[in-house]
Amino acid sequence: MPDPSLSYAQERDVALHCTIAAARLCEAVRQDQASVAIHKPDHSPVTVADYGAQALICRSLQAAFPHDPVMGEEDAQLLASPELTECRNRVTEYVCAQLQTPVETETVLDWIGHGRSGFGDRFWTLDPIDGTKGYVRGDQYAVALALIEQGQLQVAAIVAPALPVDSAQPTGDRGVAFVAVRGQGAEAIALGSGARRVLRVNGAAQRDRFRLIESVERDHGTPAWQQAVATAIGLTVPAVQMDSLAKYGSIARGEADLYLRLPSGDSVLRWENIWDHGAGVLVLEEAGGTVTDQTGKPLDFSQGTKLLKNRGIVASNGVIHGAAIEAIRALGID
Ligand code: AMP
Ligand code: MG
């Protein structure tokens, strides 16, 4: 019988290495103050770093797993347009610098294009920069990658380059990778020292320290409802706001306990993207937490790029999950 601890070992390693390389590119762009946002047709921002990160990750995935399609956030077609020539050249420069080898712009565009190669029974979902608004603001962001097989999340890597390694020392070392394989647990790796730590959510004994975590961007959820739910279930510690899937990592390492993303009436038709949650869901579940939609249904990753069968997101340490779902129902939030 194969050793279960070895299953998905290559997928885990490749996912971890390529997301860390991509995060280095993102940090280089940010340090050079080159992270100027371009606005996509849907008005969401994209930068040289989003494209560069997608290129590096897709290059690695294509080399290691040539039969696996990838569904990533960024579209190479927009970058190929004549108006974006300068941006395209910058992306190529940063990719070459990370790889320490010359690469043609066409090749970089091909790698980015591989990031929209579609779905399969087995495919990867990629957010080269989740929280681009946070990235441009100088706050948190994350590079996120997950492997989905038959609709099940199997492998996840999230790299949060600006996240303090120890939240008790916010000015100390920064940069954390979160990695998980289904059934094998989740761990955090400090990018600087390489120190590893098994991830475990808070348990009932820490109840008086439980806290809510939510987006910085107020229109990505409904802060008043989120606070009402937290109050209803007795969370008294002030909520923390953080950009990106780093929120899932925060709960996984016991720094927060409940992440609510409750869409309000005027965004009824807004479904969440699979790449904005997949990697976070597996990391948190493997750390002992629970993730569902706001009705308590599991998230369904088999519906294309969107979570079409789900509404809202409730992610928690598990201990308070049932109470949060019940409070959402009792408050009449739909
Ligand atoms: P966060 O930093 O948790 O707010 O998540 C960032 C993600 O929010 C981005 O990757 C977008 O896909 C997503 N997003 C953008 N606009 C909205 C919106 N109006 N409601 C919910 N999510 C959004
Ligand atoms: Mg995103």
DSSP 42-89: TS-EE-HHHHHHHHHHHHHHHHH-TT--EEES--HHHHTSGGGHHHHH
Nearest CA to ligand 1 atom 4: 215
- Looking at residue 5, its pLDDT comes to 58
- Looking at residue 159, its pLDDT comes to 99
Q: Are 246 and 252 in contact (CB under 8 A)?
A: no
What's CA 108's distance to the chain center, in Å? 23
267 confidence band (pLDDT: 50, 70, 90): low
When pLDDT is averaged across residues 140-163 and rounded to a whole number, the result is 98
Residue 266 has pLDDT above 70, yes or no: no
Express each pLDDT in 97-128 by its tens digit: 999 999 999 999 999 999 999 999 999 999 99
Of residues 176, 179, 147, the one with CA closest to residue 163: 176
Express each pLDDT in 17-28 by its tens digit: 999 999 999 999
pTM for this entry = 0.97
- Looking at residue 6, its pLDDT comes to 63
Q: Specify the residue for token string 């916010």.
A: 170
Q: What is the percent of the chain with per-residue pLDDT over 70, rounded to a whole number?
A: 97
Distance, CA 133 to ligand 1 centroid (Å)? 9
Dist. CA 308–CA 122, nearest whole Å: 19
**CB proximity list for 86: less than 8 A, separation 6 or greater:** none
Q: What is the percent of the chain with per-residue pLDDT over 90, rounded to a whole number?
A: 92
Residue 14 has pLDDT above 90, yes or no: yes
Q: Specify the residue for token string 């409904």.
A: 222
- In short, whether 130's Cβ falls inside 6 Å of ligand 1 is yes
The active-site residue, picked from 132, 222, 290, 292, is: 132
Pairing mode, if any, of strands 211-214 and 196-198?
A: unpaired
Q: Are 289 and 224 in contact (CB under 8 A)?
A: no
Q: Are 180 and 11 in contact (CB under 8 A)?
A: no
269 confidence band (pLDDT: 50, 70, 90): low
- Looking at residue 2, its pLDDT comes to 56
Is the pLDDT higher at 269 or at 295?
295
The yes-or-no answer on residue 19 being catalytic is: no
- Looking at residue 42, its pLDDT comes to 86
Residue 298 has pLDDT above 80, yes or no: yes
The yes-or-no answer on residue 132 being catalytic is: yes
When pLDDT is averaged across residues 134-143 and rounded to a whole number, the result is 96
When pLDDT is averaged across residues 271-281 and rounded to a whole number, the result is 98
- Looking at residue 334, its pLDDT comes to 86
Dist. CA 56–CA 172, nearest whole Å: 28
Q: What number does the ligand 1 atom closest to the CA of 242 have?
A: 2
